[in-house]
Each structure stands twice: as C-alpha cells, then as structure tokens.
C-alpha cells in the first residue's frame, strides 16, 4: 500500500515537473503523451504510459524550469519536505553466480545491492546511515549518474530525493518521462561523504567497480553523467564539465554518454542559472533525440 502511495506521489510529482518545466521554459507545444523510445522495448514489467499532458496555460517570460510549482504551499526558504529517516536492514549477500551463467539483471542487481549494503571497502561506511544503490527502472534505456548521496539520500537509502533530486525529477519530467518507470538513477559512490564533501579519489576507486557492474547489467542505451565527479569517474577525464557538456562521449567504448551539469550546480545562484539551465535543457534534448523521443518545440 505504501509502495502504491509513493508511486502515485511520484507520478503526481512527475506531471507537476513536466508542466512546470515546459510552462516556465516558454514551450508552446509539447507531446500530449510521453513518447517511448522507438527501439525494441526492454521493459519486462508493464508500466502504464503516463496520462496525456495538458498544454501550459500561460507562457512565462524567462526560462526558469526550477521554480516551485505555483500550486505548492508557501515555502519562503524553498526547502524540500523533510525526508523520513529509515535505516534499511542489511541485506544478506547471496552466493556469487556460477561461472558462465547468463547475467539476468533482476538476479544480479539485487546481489550487488546486497554486497554494497555490507561494504566496508572505504572509510565512508563508518559514517553512513544507509547505502544508496538506485531508484527507477532497471530495464530503462536511460541512466542518470550523480556524484554521491547527500543527507536526504543517506537518510532514505534512495538517490536524488533531496532538493537536487526534486530538480532532477523536473528535468526528467520535462523530457516526457516518469522517473520511477522510465529511467534508472544512481551515483558514483554509494555512501554519503561526510559534510557533503566530494568523494576522495580512493573512495571513488573503491566504489566504482559496483557502478561498472551496475551499468553493465542495466545496459542502457544512453548514460547522462551529472557533473564533474560523474564525468571524471566514468570517462577518466580531468576535463571540466563546463567544457565537455553537450558533447557525446562513449562510456567504455560502447555506450553513448552525455555529460551535463549536476542539478546541485543548477541550483547555485553563482552558476548563472538561467544560462546553465538552458544549456542543460539543450543537452537533455540531444539525449531525447538519441533515444527517438519527441522533442518539445520552444518559443
Ligand atoms: N547529489 C548526488 O550526486 N546524488 C544524490 O543522490 C543526491 C545528490
């Protein structure tokens, strides 16, 4: 029942995000239903297509996809709702697969998640509340990779559930997609770095094999690397995101990877948010084209 409620809440948030992003971005026309990639669907679980999206009533003068939806209750500090703190039980680690067995993502992703929940490979395990493995659909063709959990994610055990996560959901909603059913969301490191500092290189090195295996199993068509840490860890480049964003790269020589700004960066007033958000939306439009999704027209 709780799962159903939370799924319903996610759907409502995604519809809000869809309308908010497009309305505030000045879009005059956008798909009246979410368009799925043209390639062979890999979804093994049936997910209903999101309901038709209503056209925005008014056009906002400035591209500002991040403002709170107007129906939201007054919230002068723009703080997200507090995330309830739950400590997930450690998952017993299943036996490793016999060699040569076909790698079914529904078997092996839970196995890696169990390993992660017991992981003590680096110092981050000492201060975590929960490990944070993923949210979304393991059958998705599109994966978003962030840096690492913050306080809200550590408290809930799910990635991108705080303020940056709300923005990420808006961005995904603007693509006509529903976060929980159409994409897979994860991070470079699975435990929260204290004080929200960047993960250290040895922490990334200890954790990255989990992500490589995770991505190998999800096997998406496109990966979006959010920010410098994801870009550096996935491609081994020291190039800053400001230089590389918007240009297609290859992850491990096989998977299309689009680097773009991290939602936390887009929320920073110092980042020239209007221009950065416009660029991020450009990057997401390239991703939509690559996936065969209908790109909304802009004014
Ligand atoms: N920032 C990230 O990079 N990942 C999260 O899960 C949350 C915030």
Task: Give me the domains of the chain, ranges plus CATH numbers.
Answer: 105-291 (3.40.470.10)
Q: Answer yes or no: is the C-beta of 153 below 6 A from any ligand 1 atom.
A: yes
The reported pLDDT for the residue numbered 291 is 98
Distance 207 CA to ligand 1 centre (A): 15
Taking the CA of residue 185 as reference, the ligand 1 atom at the shortest distance is: 6
Distance 25 CA to ligand 1 centre (A): 24
User: Are the beta carbons of 115 and 195 closer than 8 angstroms?
Assistant: no
Q: Answer yes or no: is the C-beta of 166 below 6 A from any ligand 1 atom.
A: no
What are the mean pLDDT values of the chain's consecutive 10-residue runs (299 residues total)?
59 50 40 38 36 37 40 40 68 59 86 98 98 98 98 98 98 98 98 97 98 97 98 97 98 97 94 91 98 81
Q: Answer yes or no: is the C-beta of 174 below 6 A from any ligand 1 atom.
A: no
The reported pLDDT for the residue numbered 29 is 39
Distance 17 CA to ligand 1 centre (A): 18
Q: Answer yes or no: is the C-beta of 164 below 6 A from any ligand 1 atom.
A: yes
Whole-number Å distance between alpha carbons of 41 and 104: 16
Instruction: Kindly report the pTM of this predicted structure.
Output: 0.73
Residue identifier of the C-alpha nearest atom 7 of ligand 1: 160
The reported pLDDT for the residue numbered 3 is 59
The reported pLDDT for the residue numbered 12 is 55
The reported pLDDT for the residue numbered 11 is 54
């Amino acid at each position: 029942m709780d799962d159903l409620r939370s799924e319903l809440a996610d759907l409502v948030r995604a519809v809000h995000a869809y309308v908010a992003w497009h309305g505030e971005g000045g879009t005059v026309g956008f798909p009246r239903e979410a368009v799925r990639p043209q390639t062979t669907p890999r979804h093994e679980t049936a997910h209903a297509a999101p309901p038709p999206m209503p056209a925005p009533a008014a056009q906002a003068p400035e591209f500002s996809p991040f403002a709170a939806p107007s129906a939201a209750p007054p919230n002068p500090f723009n703080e997200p709702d507090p995330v309830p703190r739950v400590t997930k039980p450690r998952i017993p680690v299943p036996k490793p697969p016999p060699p040569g067995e076909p790698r079914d993502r529904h078997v092996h992703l839970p196995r890696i998640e169990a390993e992660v929940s017991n992981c003590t490979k680096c110092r981050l395990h000492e201060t975590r509340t929960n490990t944070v493995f993923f949210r979304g659909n393991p059958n998705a063709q599109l994966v978003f990779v962030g840096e690492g959990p913050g306080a809200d994610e550590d408290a809930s055990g799910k990635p991108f559930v705080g303020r940056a996560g709300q923005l990420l959901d808006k961005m995904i909603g603007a693509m006509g997609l529903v976060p929980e059913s159409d994409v897979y969301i994860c991070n470079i490191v699975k435990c929260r770095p204290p004080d929200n500092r960047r993960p250290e290189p040895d922490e990334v090195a200890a954790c990255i094999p989990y992500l490589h295996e995770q991505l190998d199993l999800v096997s998406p068509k496109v990966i979006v690397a959010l920010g410098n840490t994801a870009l550096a860890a996935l491609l081994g480049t020291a190039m800053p995101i400001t230089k590389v964003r918007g240009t297609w790269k290859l992850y491990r020589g096989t998977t299309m990877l689009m680097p773009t700004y991290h939602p936390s960066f887009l929320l920073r007033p110092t980042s020239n948010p209007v221009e950065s958000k416009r660029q991020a939306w450009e990057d997401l439009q390239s991703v939509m084209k690559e996936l065969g999704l209908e790109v909304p027209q802009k004014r």
